């Protein structure tokens, strides 16, 4: 029987630099469904070079990648002054070290996990 992605499931992520803070910035990452997988695949635009290494055929814009990452984030907690900002606006203004950690976490968790499927 096919199991569908649970759209309400999230993975909680706290960046390393925030772990000792009493109110750390916390990201809730949604699972990657087929629509988002196709979006990521299109952003990468990978092709084969014949030697098994592959190469990038084009380069997606930073704004396209921000759209993808924003689509993966359900909510963000504990960001001062961000009450009226969208997720995309918040992640575009993150300090570089935290932005890199969030991107890495999302990239590492881009395959559907067993606890993120409906039974």
Do the domain assignments include residue 44?
yes
Whole-structure pTM value: 0.78
Other CB atoms closer than 10 Å to residue 33's CB: what's the count? Answer: 16
Encode pLDDT of 25-57 as tens digits.
999 999 988 899 888 888 876 444 445 555 555
Do the domain assignments include residue 109?
no
Encode pLDDT of 55-65 as tens digits.
555 567 788 88
Which segments of the chain does DSSP mark as H helices, in order?
34-44, 62-72, 87-92, 96-108
Do the domain assignments include residue 71?
yes
Do the domain assignments include residue 3?
no
Do the domain assignments include residue 47?
yes
* pLDDT surpassing 90 at residue 71: yes
Q: How many folded domains does the chain comprise? A: 1
């Amino acid at each position: 029987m096919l199991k569908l992605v649970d759209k309400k499931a999230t993975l909680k992520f706290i960046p390393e630099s925030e772990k000792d803070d009493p109110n750390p910035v916390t990201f809730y990452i949604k699972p990657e469904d087929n629509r988002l997988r196709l979006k990521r695949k299109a952003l990468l635009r990978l092709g084969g070079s014949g030697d098994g290494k592959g190469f990038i055929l084009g380069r997606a814009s930073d704004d396209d990648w921000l759209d993808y990452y924003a689509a993966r984030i359900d909510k963000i907690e504990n960001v001062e002054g961000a009450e009226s900002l969208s997720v995309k606006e918040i992640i575009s203004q993150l300090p570089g070290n935290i932005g890199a950690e969030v991107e890495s976490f999302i990239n590492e968790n881009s395959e559907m996990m067993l606890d993120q499927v409906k039974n």
